[in-house]
Amino acid sequence: MATIDDVAKLAGVSKGTVSSVFSKKRPISKPVTERVLTVAKELGYYPNHIARSLAIKKTMIVGLKMPISKTGTMSQFEIQMLNGVIKECTKNGYRILLDTLPEHEDLTQFSSDPVDGVIMLNPRKHDHRIERYEQMGIPLVLVGRPDPLISSISYVDNNNEQLAYDVGKYLLTQGHHSIIFLNASSDMTVSVDREFGIMKAFEEQGIPFPRENRMNYSRKLHATASDYGYMSIMDTFNKVSYTAVVADTDRVALGILRATRELGIDVPRDLSIVALSNDARLAQEMTPKLTSVELSAETLGAEAGRILIQKMLDPMTVAQHIVNAEIIYRDSCRTLQQIV
């Protein structure tokens, strides 16, 4: 097997030059780069990532902790998030190590991977993983608000309290005074913020929001997000009074629509639906077209990558960035007064 010494000797350059051609840590002229690459191809030389990591004391790998559904498929939000992280990290020479295991549910799955920094999605209340990364000295950026909210922790997030408030206020102005909220897992900080926001909208109008009208996703009870939406409607139909549903994601909304078809509920005539995420293609293909909230997942991912790269260069870097969300009005909501 050819070595870096063999390539350097045949190309007439130093080992450092060969290393720089592959690592791009310093500029090398185009003629020299082409000569080194030609010789490397002839000899069948490929750089040893482990050896290079030891030499530069970096792996040039970013870990992305992004648990996905039990089915192993990614939502559009997760795909867009991943795209944002990849774009930002790739242009800075970093590979992405994607970890989809739900380690927050089983701490034995927590691992110290060979990475220079970590981006972690969906932090939980009192999330012990944050403390572990601090103890290991691994730069960390969260996608989601940490709990407790500590000024030294870097994160990016949507304005979740505000977006839920806006959705609640919108439904109230449409005459919907009784709704159900199919929220995310109760231990997620995004769930806490969104419940607070939507309840605030109702409290301002002096309208009660009963506890039985607020539900939470559970991996133990629901195989998928779609099943969560489906089961919630089937379990509450004719038992709880409501004219609108706020769904955590568009996948949850798919399950809601499946239940309404089986129960003969017309959307939006009999029931209005809003999803707190926006897969534009899926929303347009649904019947009716789904009113949803654009979270700008790719922007969230890119911002997380940008902050982490700064933090890996300077561990003292702290940044907290909010990406605004926007309601996309489509056809799945109506005002109560439209019915005669």
**pLDDT attached to residue 339:** 43
d(CA 261, CA 340): 22
Give the position of tokens 């089937």.
234
d(CA 274, CA 293): 8
Beta strand 272-275 with 179-183 is unpaired
Helix (H, G, I), strand (E, B) or coil at 71: coil
- Burial class of 61 by CB neighbour count within 10 A (0 to 12, 13 to 18, 19+): middle
**pLDDT attached to residue 103:** 59
Phi, psi of 240 (to 5 degrees): -125, 135
> Would you say 275 and 257 are in contact if contact means Cβ atoms under 8 Å apart?
no
- CA 48, 51, 52, 58: dihedral to nearest 10 degrees? 130
Burial 115-137 (b: 16+ CB within 10 A, else e): bbbbbbbbbbeebebbeebeeee
In the chain, alpha helices (H): 4-11, 15-23, 30-43, 49-56, 76-90, 128-136, 160-173, 189-204, 225-236, 250-263, 280-285, 297-313
Report in angstroms the alpha-carbon separations of 273 from 70, 123, 223, 322, 332. Answer: 25, 27, 22, 26, 5
Structure confidence by residue, pLDDT tens digits, 30-88: 989 999 899 888 888 877 655 555 455 677 899 999 987 777 788 889 999 999 999 99
Q: Measuring CA to CA, which residue among 33, 42, 53, 49 is closest to residue 10?
A: 42
**pLDDT attached to residue 104:** 57
Give the position of tokens 């990558």.
305
Find all residues with CB under 8 Å of 38, minimum gap 6, and list them.
none
| Residues of the chain with confidence (pLDDT) below 50 | 54, 338-340
Length of the chain: 340
Report in angstroms the alpha-carbon separations of 125 from 8, 42, 132, 158, 190. Answer: 53, 55, 15, 17, 10
d(CA 44, CA 63): 30
In 44-154, alpha helices (H): 49-56, 76-90, 128-136
**pLDDT attached to residue 55:** 56
Burial 283-294 (b: 16+ CB within 10 A, else e): beebebebbbbb
**pLDDT attached to residue 48:** 63
**pLDDT attached to residue 340:** 36
